[in-house]
Structure formats: C-alpha cells, structure tokens
Structure 1
C-alpha cells in the first residue's frame, strides 16, 4: 500500500474507532457519570448529529481550500474532540465533545477518498478507494475491541486518549507522506446544494438513514444486550465485538460484489434477510451460542448493505461530486442519531432491553419498503422522468 494512502487509511481507522467504540464502553461511561444507559446512548446521537451537520456544511464551506491543509485541520479538530471527551467532567460536556469530534468526520472521508483517487494509477481508482475504506473495517474489527479492552482495564477516559493519540500519530504520517494538492474544482455553492432537491437523492438518503436505523440501534446497545440478555461476562464483549467486526469485513466484500451485479434488487434482498435475522435474534437472545453466531451474521448483513447504499447516493448525487460521499455519511449518521434516542426510549418504556432486537427488525422492514419503492421507480422511468 502506498504510504500516502496508508496514512489516510490510518486516519479513517482512528475516526471509525472513535465513532463505534462507545458501544463497547457504554456501561462504564454510564456508571462513572451516574447516568442511565439510555442517557449514555445519547452520546452516539451527539456524534452522529455532528456528522450530519458537518457533512454537507463543512464540505461546502471548505470546498475551495487546498486539500492537505484542510485534511490537517480536520484531523486536528478530531484529536481535540477526543481529548475533550477524555477529560469531560460530566455528561453534558461529554455530549458536546462527541458532537465536536463528529463535525469533521464526513468531510474528511470525502476529501480522503478524493485525494486517494487523484493519486491512483489509471484504472486503479476503485482499488485505491477500497484501501482507504479498509480503515473503516479495521476500526470495527480491531479498533473497537481494543478500545473496549482499554476502557475496561484503564477506564473509559483512557479509550478516548488512545483514539486521540492514534489520530495524532496518523496526522504526522499525513504531514510527511501526503503530497500537497490544490483545492478541488467545484461549482457555485448553491449549485452544489441543489442536489438535495432531487427526488432520487432524497430517496437515496432516506434509504441509507431508515435502512440502517434498526441494526445501528442494536449495535449501539450491544454491550448491555450481550451481558444483561444473553448473560455473557463483560470480558467476553470485546471478543464478540471482534466477531461482529469479522462479519462486517465479510459483508463489505459480499455487499460490493452483489451491488456490482444488481444494485437495488440485492439491497432489497439484504434488508429482508437482515430484518429476519434481527427478529430471530430477539427470539434466541437468551441463549449464548445462537447469540454469538447471530452477532457474526448481523455484522455481515449490517455492512453488506453499505456498499450498495453508498453507490446509490453517489450515482444520484452525480451533479455534486464534492458532496456525494459526505451526503452518504450524513445519511448513515441520521440513523445513528435516531438510534441512540430510539434504544433509550425502548429501554425506559415497557418494552424492555431485549425488545431492541424486535424494534430494530421493524425499522429494517421500513428500509426494505423504501428500497422496493426505489426499485419500482427505476423500472418505471416515465413516472419520474
């Protein structure tokens, strides 16, 4: 892997770890700050809201800046946000810190991919993007379990310090190896933003948001689900997160392969299977062996749907390539923001913790409905020509 691409991939790894690691340390944060699990779950919402706001806004506002200084600035904000999380004296300050850390993530992903593609040899753009995106998979496979172990043994604040330290080390590599590049050529800001008026773009974002709500809600509360419902020990949670991450890696390749062959039909099929798996998880979550197996399967399906959703957003937002990847990230984070609140509502209501699986299945069915509607529109072009 070329060193410039490796540098960008390592940043993606640290940012992904910073986003998902909260799932593994959620009970520790709640206990230390004397807040409920649902309240701690809002930390996922805060980070997601940062990405939702930052994705389109920061991307458009910084579109005319030279890429390398912009990347350095974005990483620096992330480092400061994670350090702020580590020293947060209470829950409200931690919420603000997570929001700040999330502000720059979607824009960084967009710029990192554009930068990597610009350095790629002819006909190697797709494989170069895959190398940068590998950081996301490694963040879940390795970063999240390792961050969880750090939090369980050294305290949850040490987890955020570790994320900040790794991001800073990756920043040094970016400074050393990523070449300076001019700002990307973009149209007027209003022209870029007009992409949101497209019905196809709106449906693509809705598919990404609604289709991910169910499984993201389950993942946000995976630690208490595994310990309180499936009765695994706390020390087993990092191992099961590793199992989930292994499934996510498999799903990423499977989803990409399927999407290349039949984009919307494969997405609809994967969402249908995911809904069934979440419902099955609800039924057998009290048994450890099925729970462990379904944790892997859930990881496969959760990430198998992402390549197709990303492709759908990028193709429909083709008139505004600067925003395409950032819009997709914001759509996913709409799901994450809602998931933090939704899981808390389920737990504090009469449904109980275990019902998160069933609620997740129902929301996945809603995503399936959107996918089927898009598929029908695609097959009837006269309706929306």
Structure 2
C-alpha cells in the first residue's frame, strides 16, 4: 500500500474528529449558547448538509487541479473555519462555520477517495478505501473521546482549537507525500456530462440510497448518544468518552474486516452487516437502561456501521468507473445525506416527547428502510423470473 494512502487517512482523521466530536459536546454547546438539545444537534446536520452540497461542487471545481493543490486548499479552509468557530460567541456563526468546514471537508473527501484508489491496482481498491475511511475510525477511537474530555474540562471551544491544531501536521504530510501532478496528466478529463450520466443507473442509485439510510441510522443515535447514556442509561458524564472510544474501536474493527473481505464477498458482507445493524439498534432501544448491554452494543454497532459503510463505498466506486472525478463525491453525498437525515429524525423524535430512547428506535426504522431498498432489486428479479 503506497504511503500516500496512509497520509490521506491521517488527514481524514483530523476531519473525522470534527465531524463526530459534537456527540460528546452537545449538552455543553446547548447550555453555553442557550439553545435546545435539538438545535445543538442540528450543528451535526449543518455539517452533513455542507458535505452533501460541497462534495459534487468541490469535486467538479477541482477536477482539473493538481490533486495536492486541491487537498491543501481544502485543508487550509477547514483549519480556518475551526478557528473562527472556536472564537464565535453566537449559535448562528457557529452553524455557518460548521457548514463552511463541511464544504471544505467534502472537497477533501471527494479528491482523497479517488486519489487513493488511483494509486493502487484494482484488487486493492477496497483496502485503499478502508485505509482512508479508517482515518474516521481512528478519530472515533482517539479524537472524539479526547474532544469530549477537553469539552468536559475546558469547554467545547477547546475541542475546536484541538481540531485546528491536529490538522496542521496533515497539511505538512500532504505536501511531502501526495503527487503534485494533475489527475489526468496523460489524457483529457472525462466530460462532466458523461460522469453525471452514471447516476442514471438504477443499480448505482439504489446503492447510494442504501448507503444514505445506513448512515442515517448510525448518525440518528450517535448524535444523541451523550444524553442517552447520561439520562437514560444512568452513566456519569465521565463514561461518555469511554462509550465514544468503544464505538471507535468497533468502527476500526469493522473497517479492517471490510478492507480484507469486501473485494471478495461484498454482497454477503453488506447483507450481514445491515441485518446486524437493524437488530442491534432495536436491541439497544429495548436495553438502554442496562449499562453493560448498552456499552457492548455501542461497540458492536460501530463495527457493523463502518464495516458495512466501507463495503458500500467500495461498491459505489466499482459501479462508477466512468466517473473518476465524481465517484468519490457520490459516496460523500450519500454518506452525508444520511448524516443530515439521522440527527433531524432523532431531534424530531426527542421534541415529540418520546424520551431519550426515541432516536435509537428511529435508527431501527431507518435500517428497516435500508433493508427494503437493498432487497428491492432481488424481489424484482424473482418476480420477473416467475413470470416467464
């Protein structure tokens, strides 16, 4: 595996810490800025919306840039908006910085995914994808719990400062390790219309929708994990970083397994992971009052969520070879459509007065929709065969 692929994973670690860290800071932000928990949860949705919009736009804007230049620009903007977010006294400005930071993050993700798979042979594409996505899982293991600890001791703003500082080494690593040439130095770039036409394929659209629903289920519970654990499970606030670390450890294990087997048996891996997620979220909703069971399920759900997500990303990249620029953007958009839908659905459930377990039940419902979507093609194929 080229060292440059691991460098991309390092940069994703810094950005993944920012994307996920609000799950351990949501109560502190709500109190400090005098907003509701649901409003604070929308900061996660704002980040996801920025990723959804930014992924295709930034991928198209940077399609003829040298990859190193594009990655450095996106990282620099990401650092700047986190400094501004750490300094702002108002919720509105913080919401805007989350959106702007996400647009930069989306651009980085879109370029990073296509760069990673372009650096390896076809049989290693899933493993290269796993290395890049693995940066997010390391963020869940180390960065997100560390952010929760910083937020508990010195306030949520300290976590934003930490993300900005951690991103600086990633800038230096990109300068030294990523090739500086243009992505299509030896041939004309694929026309934008040709890349967009790939989206007309029903099979690809179904995979993207499935990915969005799976991630929506994950973010629906993850965004409100801190109030679930402290107010429903009964754990003290000091256990929240531990739970986040458990989720991160599970995520790392899931990505590692997916990286090794997604190229060999992708359908079986995706089907098993989605089924386990649906059962896991429903079980957590029923047993959230038991701390040992809740912590064990958090570990398991992290593994299934990121293992399944990695396999789905690899499948999208494999289904869209004619879209070398936008393939990564398709994945980023689908992933973050789910990250937008999830916190919104969880916030609606909370505001409706259904209790702190409501987002977990919503996660189970979203996974049910994902299973139906993923199985739709097989049902149609069987119906057609029975007709002839």
Which band: TM-score by shorter chain?
Answer: over 0.9
Deviations 1:202-224 (A, max 9, x none): 21111111122222200111111
Aligned residue in 2 for 1:210? 213
Q: Secondary structure at the match of 2:63?
A: coil
Between Structure 1 and Structure 2, how many residues are aligned?
A: 383
Mind listing any 5+ residue stretches in structure 2 that lack a counterpart?
Answer: none
Q: How does 1:146-161 map to 2 (within 5 A)?
A: 146-161=146-161
The answer as to 2:333 corresponding to 1:330 is yes
Q: Partner residue of 1:291? A: 294
Compute the TM-score of the two structures, normalised by the length of structure 2: 0.92
Match of 2:375 in 1: 372
Aligned: 1:269 with 2:272: yes
What are the Cα deviations for residues 238-295 of structure 1, in whole angstroms up to 9, with x where unaligned?
Answer: 0111111111111223344553344334323322221111111111111111111111
Name the Cα RMSD after superposition: 2.3
Distance 1:382 1:257 in 2: 34
Counterpart of 1:31?
31
Q: CA deviation at 1:37?
A: 0.6
Question: Counterpart in 2 of 1:78?
Answer: 78
- Partner of 2:103 in structure 1? 103
Distance 1:317 1:144, change over 3 A: same
The separation in 1 between residues aligned to 2:384 and 2:194, in whole angstroms, is 25
Paired position in structure 2 for 1:90: 90
Q: Distance in 1 between matches of 2:373 and 2:168?
A: 40
From the superposition, tell whether residues 208 and 166 of structure 1 become closer, same or farther in structure 2 (CA, over 3 Å).
same
Equivalent residue for 1:195?
198
Q: After alignment, is 314-323 or 256-265 more displaced?
A: 256-265
C-alpha distance in 1 between matches for 2:178 and 2:360: 43
Cα 1:372–1:128 change in 2 (3 A) is: closer
Deviation of 1:380 (Å): 8.2
Deviation of 1:188 (Å): 1.7
Instruction: Give the Cα–Cα distance (whole angstroms) in 1 for the partners of residues 232 and 146 of structure 2.
Output: 23
**Match of residue 19 from structure 1:** 19
Matching residue of 1:183? 183
Q: In the alignment, which residue of structure 2 is the partner of 1:164?
A: 164
Whole-angstrom CA distance in 2 between matches of 1:109 and 1:71:
9
Give yes or no for contact 1:265–1:375 (8 Å, CA) kept in 2: no
Q: Deviations over 1:46-70 (max 9, x none)?
A: 0000110011111012101111111
For residues 187 and 89 of structure 1, do their structure 2 counterparts lie closer, same or farther at Cα, with a shift above 3 Å needed? same
CA deviation profile, 1:340-382 (whole Å, cap 9, x unmatched): 2111111110312212211211111110101111344577899
Q: Which runs of 5+ in 1 are unaligned?
A: none
- Equivalent of residue 309 in structure 1, options 305, 309, 312: 312
Sort the Cα spacing of 1:305 and 1:120 in 2 relative to 1 into closer, same or farther, 3 A: closer
Out of 80-89 and 16-25, give the one that drifted further: 80-89
